Amino acid sequence: MDPLDRLGASLRSLGRVVISYSGGVDSAFLLHEAVRVLGPDAVRPVLVVNETVPAVQRRAAVENARWIGVEAETLEVPMYSIPGFAWNPSDRCARCKRAMYGALVELAGDRPVADGATTTDVEKRRIGLAVARERGVVHPLVEADLSDGDVRSLAAGLDLPFATMPSTTCLATRFPEGKMLDVDSLRRVERAEEAIISLGFPLVRVRLWGGPALVQVSPDDVPRLMAPEVLGAIRDILAREGIGAFEVDPAGYRES
């Protein structure tokens, strides 16, 4: 069976569905197909956020949903409401996902909740998948046997505008485990990353792990980042946010 047919069958079995929607490629593709198969009135995309979700991700999520033909709702789950999360523990992802999926399932009521997990998440045993299953969240892309690469390929084949969108991660990953997170520090890093993105680097991470800040971009963009005028601009950007010394990761950002 064609992968889109497999996905369509999985979605039709759900009927009216709430989509756990981050705006990333996987969940946006799932939303696109759900709207195509079920119609916009049967699909409710919900973006669950807290202070660690970058504004650029929120904007992209809203824009992609509108392009698809639906409005994404936003559900706030403040980070300080999640037990122990603000201390940035090693299990922060599980704590956050558990709270977010719990709030989403409660909001959904008797509707099933589906997320954009893929077979890549299964293979890598990502914690979010286990937590989602605890909450009864279903995974249509997994049921359709689609990997991250498959989703990007299908999205590109359909000329979807988000097919090549870079991945995003929560801002808590920019700080060392065990360091208390505060909104001011999160916003400083976020502003620095957005300013560097504006220099023409689609994927940027600014990490404050102790010692000099670590600046990461896509591996292919590292040579351009090392140009003296670009380094000077980055130095100015970081200085505005009270960040002094910095280093560039010579290998670039690698997704785990």
Predicted local distance difference test score (pLDDT) of residue 179: 92
Residue 230 class from Cβ within 10 Å (0-12 exposed, 13-18 middle, 19+ buried)?
Answer: middle
- What digits encode the pLDDT tens for the residues 29-54? 999 999 999 999 999 999 999 999 99
Q: Domain limits at 242?
A: 182-248
Token pair of 57, please?
């991700």
- Confidence band (pLDDT; 50, 70, 90) for 127? confident
What's the maximum distance between 2 C-alpha atoms anywhere in the chain? 57
Token pair of 230, please?
């670009």
Which of 113, 140, 157 is at the close of a domain?
Answer: 157
Q: Is the pLDDT of residue 123 over 90?
A: no
- 88 in a domain, yes or no? yes
Alpha-carbon distance values, 70 to 46, 73, 177 (Å): 11, 10, 37
- 162 in a domain, yes or no? no
Do 137 and 231 lie in one domain? The reply is: no
Could you tell me whether strands 204-207 and 213-217 are parallel, antiparallel, or unpaired per DSSP bridges? antiparallel
Q: Which residue type does 104 have? A: L
Q: Is the pLDDT of residue 160 over 80?
A: yes
Residue 228 class from Cβ within 10 Å (0-12 exposed, 13-18 middle, 19+ buried)?
Answer: exposed
Q: Which of 126, 109, 148, 134 lies closest to 18, judged by CA?
A: 109
Three-state DSSP class for residue 78: coil
Which of 157, 172, 197 is at the close of a domain?
Answer: 157
- Confidence band (pLDDT; 50, 70, 90) for 128? confident
Looking at every residue in the chain, the average pLDDT score rounds to 94
Predicted local distance difference test score (pLDDT) of residue 117: 92
Do 107 and 207 lie in one domain? The reply is: no
Do 203 and 239 lie in one domain? The reply is: yes
Tell me the percentage of the chain whose pLDDT exceeds 70. Answer: 100
Centroid of chain to Cα 188: 19
Predicted local distance difference test score (pLDDT) of residue 256: 63
- Confidence band (pLDDT; 50, 70, 90) for 1? confident
Total count of domains within the chain: 2
Do 212 and 104 lie in one domain? The reply is: no
Do 96 and 197 lie in one domain? The reply is: no
Residues 230-247 have a mean pLDDT of: 96
- 97 in a domain, yes or no? yes
Residues 196-216 have a mean pLDDT of: 95
Predicted local distance difference test score (pLDDT) of residue 146: 94
Q: Is the pLDDT of residue 137 over 90?
A: yes
- What digits encode the pLDDT tens for the residues 81-96? 999 999 999 999 999 9
Predicted local distance difference test score (pLDDT) of residue 189: 97
